[in-house]
Each structure stands twice: as structure tokens, then as C-alpha cells.
Amino acid sequence: MILLCYSLAAAIGGGLYEHIVLTPMWSKSPPSSFSIIQPTTGVPLQRFWIPVHAAITLFIILSLMMTWSDMTVRRLLLVALVCYIVMRVWSFLFFIPEMLAFQNVPIDSAPSAELAARVSRWTFWTWFREPLDIISFLFSLLALYSLNR
């Protein structure tokens, strides 16, 4: 459960870094600003997010398996899991496909109102994913605390 908490903390830190540092850079004047997210020239987002989410998935499953008999811990971890699943499903359905589409837009193509609207929508809604990570983290911490009582 400690590794789960560390993994969730890494996701929160990575999300905040993306929101505060990277997103303002790549979203300021699309598509020319997309160079920061291009697979060959930009920040390799997948190198961070894939291992972090793999770790969270593994550790939350292991934590549930190892503490299943403790009803309080199980309930807290299930709340964390539900929030995490909601965030991941939302990411797979909207955020990841859009980011991959943004990464494929040539940076020398002409700006368009449609692209600017898509970027604006992405940057607005992405702020609502971070609270889901924070809730997962807090409920995992509560489960860890409850386990150690």
C-alpha cells in the first residue's frame, strides 16, 4: 500500500507539472506550439505516464488482494479504485486520443479555429482529472492509516 501511495503521489506530481509547465507551453499557439509534444522533438510523455499507471494498477490490485479481509481498508481502497478507473476511462476515451491527434498535427500547418477550440476544450477538462487522482491518493492514505491502527 505504501508503493500504491507513492505511485499515486507521482501521478499527482506529474499531472501538476503537466498542467503548470507543459500545457501552457504546447497550447499557447497551436499548431506551432505543438513542437513540445511531438513524439520526436518534444517531451516524451509516455515514458512517464505508462510506468506510473502500470505501477498504480499493479499496486492497487495487490493492495486489495492483501487486505481484502479488512472491511474498512477494502472499502477505502475500492473508493480509490473507482476514482482511478473513472479517470483512466475518461483518459482513454477523450484525453489520450486527442493528445495523439495533437501530436500528429504538423507544426507548420495553418492555425484553425477548430483546432484552437479542441485545444481549449482539452486544457479545460484536463483540470478535472487531477481531483480524481487526489481522491484516489487520499483514500489510499486513509486505507494505509486504517491498516496500521
pLDDT digits (tens, 9 = 90+) for 105-142: 999 999 999 999 999 999 999 999 999 999 999 999 99
Q: Which residues contact 66 (CB under 8 A, 6 or more apart)?
A: 1
pLDDT digits (tens, 9 = 90+) for 58-114: 999 999 999 999 999 999 999 999 999 999 999 999 999 999 999 999 999 999 999
Q: Give the pLDDT score at 116.
A: 96
Q: How far is CA 104 from the centre of its chain?
A: 21
Q: Give the pLDDT score at 73.
A: 97
Q: Give the C-alpha separation, 61 to 46, whole Å.
A: 22
Q: Give the C-alpha separation, 42 to 125, whole Å.
A: 22
Cell numbers representing residue 96 in the block:
489520450
The amino acid at 37: I
Q: Give the pLDDT score at 66.
A: 97
Q: Give the C-alpha separation, 74 to 66, whole Å.
A: 10
Q: Give the pLDDT score at 148.
A: 75
Residue 149's pLDDT band (cuts 50, 70, 90):
confident
Q: Give the C-alpha separation, 95 to 117, whole Å.
A: 14
Q: What are the strands, taking DSSP E only, across 57-141?
A: none
pLDDT digits (tens, 9 = 90+) for 8-66: 999 999 999 999 999 999 999 999 999 999 888 889 889 999 999 999 999 999 999 99
Q: Give the C-alpha separation, 77 to 17, whole Å.
A: 26
Q: Give the pLDDT score at 18.
A: 95
